[in-house]
Chains A and B, each alone.
Chain A
Amino acid sequence: MGTDRTINLLMVDDEVKFLSTITERLKLKFFTISSATNGMEAIEAAEKGQFDVAVIDLQMPGINGVQLLETLKKSHKYLEVIILSGHATIQSAVDCTKLGAFKILEKPCDFDDLVNAIKEAYEIRLKKKFKDDAARIKKIQELSVFESPLGLLKALAKMDNTEK
Chain B
Amino acid sequence: MHNDANDLLNKEGLKFFGKVNASISHELKNILAIISETAGLLSDLTELARHGKQIELSMLENCSSNIAEEIQRGFRTIKQMNRFAHSVDDFIKETDLLETLDLAIQLTGYLSFAITVQTDFQTKPEKPVLTCPFLLQNLLYQVLCFTYAAVGHNGHIHIRCSSQDNTGIYLVFSSTFEQAFSSFPTQGIQHTADVLGAKLNTDSKFAELDVWIPYTNPKFMTKEHKR
Chain A residues in the interface with B (C-beta under 8 A): 14-15, 17-18, 21-22, 24-25, 28, 59-62, 64, 86-87, 107-109, 111
Contact = CB atoms under 8 A, between A and B. Distances in A.
A20 to B, nearest CB: 9
Contact of A107 (B29, B48, B112, B153): B29
Given A21-B66, A61-B153, A86 B41 contact: no
7 contacts: A21-B37, A25-B41, A25-B44, A28-B44, A61-B112, A87-B112, A111-B37
B215 to A, nearest CB: 37
B112 A86 contact: no
B34 A17 contact: yes
B220 to A, nearest CB: 37
Contacts of A28: 44, 48
B33 interface: yes
A21 B30 contact: no
Contacts of A59: 26, 112
Nearest to B53: A28
A18 B37 contact: yes
B113 interface: yes
A22 B112 contact: no
Contacts of A86: 26, 29-30, 33
Name the interface size band of chain B: 20 to 34
Nearest to A38: B153
A24 B41 contact: yes
Contact of A15 (B30, B69, B113): B30
A17 B112 contact: no
A112 to B, nearest CB: 10
A107 to B, nearest CB: 4
B190 interface: no
Given A25-B37, A108-B36, A108-B37, A18 B30 contact: yes
Nearest to A114: B37
Interface centre among B26, B36, B37, B44 (most CB of A within 10 A): B37
Given A28-B44, A28-B48, A59-B112, A21 B29 contact: no
B33 A15 contact: yes
Contacts of B36: 108
Given A18-B30, A86-B26, A61 B66 contact: no
Interface centre among B30, B32, B48 (most CB of A within 10 A): B30
A60 B113 CA distance: 7
Given A64-B112, A108-B29, 10 more contacts: A18-B33, A22-B37, A28-B48, A59-B26, A60-B112, A62-B153, A108-B32, A108-B33, A109-B33, A111-B40
Contacts of B112: 14, 59-61, 64, 87
A107 B40 contact: no
Nearest to A25: B41
A113 B29 CA distance: 17
Nearest to B154: A62
Interface string B111-135: 0111100000000000000000000
A21 B153 contact: no
A139 B215 CA distance: 79
Nearest to B25: A86
Interface string B82-112: 0000000000000000000000000000001
B160 to A, nearest CB: 25
Contacts of B202: none
Contacts of A62: 153
A28 B59 CA distance: 13
